[in-house]
Every structure is written in structure tokens, then in C-alpha cells.
Chains A and B, each alone.
Chain A
């Protein structure tokens, strides 16, 4: 176990709704990255937060947004859900924004109907 936790484990939402996913980073880690993993594919980088600031973003639309809190936990928010948003959402924590090892949580399985 990595010490990274995510909630909820599973979630079912309807198209057009909004969702918030949560991540608690490993103790001592100040950086959280979020990834989307569609079934049968590798994870894709959404964005990274370092000391409460967005530190980089992948090719995801603005309806994907996030927050990082002073305790370095993080939220991923997705507005106006689409069917293609159905995926496993992973967060990973690391010691910094550079090339440090990233430790992944178990993920949240989001299903959009």
C-alpha cells in the first residue's frame, strides 16, 4: 500500500451532472497529480498541483478542475459530465513537482450513464 487514499471507490452519475473526487496524499508529499484511465488503456495526465497551485495540465477541457488544500489533499471536479468521462480516476502523490517517484492511490471508478 502506498498511503495514498481516494474516495469514493465507485460512483455512478448521469450525463450533465457534476462530480467531485477526493485524494489524500502520502505523508510528507506536497504534490498531487491526477490521471484518467479508460478501460484497457494507460493512465492519461490531467493536471498536477504543487503547494496548492496548478502546476501543469494535460489535454483536458476546462470542465476538469481541481484544488489542493493546505494539508496537500486534493479534489478533482468534473462539470457537465459526458459518457466518455467514464473511467478510473487515479491520483498520485510525490515529494515535489520534479522527477520524483509518484505513488498512486487505488482510484475512483466513475460511471456516467
Chain B
């Protein structure tokens, strides 16, 4: 399938290491944030979300940190595995009345070396 990772920032890690992917968002009024994983030829897959009343949320092997002061999100993946290789996008939820639209960041290509 086609690569969605062309010209994207790349993070290369060794299998078993921890990965940290960073993202800056633009709208200080955003109150809901999501990390998506996108493998080549597939649609984005939900990983974890966080609301603005929290600064940390943990899932299975993943942790999201939110710093509203500097409008920064990070995704931490513990014990990175080859199956984690993909493009990772952060998205902020923008509300306009009843509309819920996602604004996606540039994306980071995570390459896991065996």
C-alpha cells in the first residue's frame, strides 16, 4: 500500500525501547485531544484520548501527556514493538456549535528497528 509517511518527521527506535512522540496544537480553546495510528494503506486507528481537565492518561503500553500552558501533547509508547511502526497523528477536537471536527497535526513516522 502507499506510504503516508513521505516527508514526515521520523522517530527511529530500537525494539523494546520507549518511544515519545510530540505534538503542538494550535487552538487554546480545544478541550479534547486524540492520538491516532495510521499504517500504510489504512485509515487512522484510535489509540488514546484525553480531555483538557486532565494532564495525563494511561492506556495499555501508551500514555498521553497534555500541557495546556504550552499547547503541547505527547504520546509515550512503552516497550516499542515492530507492530508499532506507523505514522502517528495527534488531533484536536474543534467545536463549532454542534459540529465536532478534528484538526490533525503533521504526523510522525515511527520506525521500530528489530
Q: Which residues of A are in contact with B by a Cβ distance under 8 Å?
A: 2, 4, 31, 33, 35, 37, 39-45, 48, 50, 55-56, 58, 88, 90, 92, 94, 96-107, 109
29 contacts between A and B (CB under 8 A): A33-B100, A33-B102, A37-B4, A39-B4, A39-B6, A40-B4, A40-B6, A40-B8, A41-B107, A42-B91, A42-B107, A45-B102, A45-B103, A56-B97, A56-B98, A56-B100, A58-B101, A92-B102, A94-B100, A98-B95, A99-B31, A99-B32, A100-B100, A101-B34, A102-B100, A104-B36, A104-B45, A105-B43, A106-B41
In the complex formed, the residue of B with least CB distance to A109 is: B2
Residues of chain B within 8 A (CB-CB) of A55 are 98-99
Q: Interface centre among B4, B44, B45, B91, by most A CB within 10 Å?
A: B44
Question: Beyond the given A97-B98, A100-B100, could you list 14 further A-B residue pairs with CB under 8 A, ordered by the A residue number?
Answer: A33-B102, A39-B4, A50-B98, A56-B98, A56-B99, A88-B2, A97-B99, A98-B98, A99-B95, A99-B100, A101-B34, A102-B100, A103-B46, A109-B2
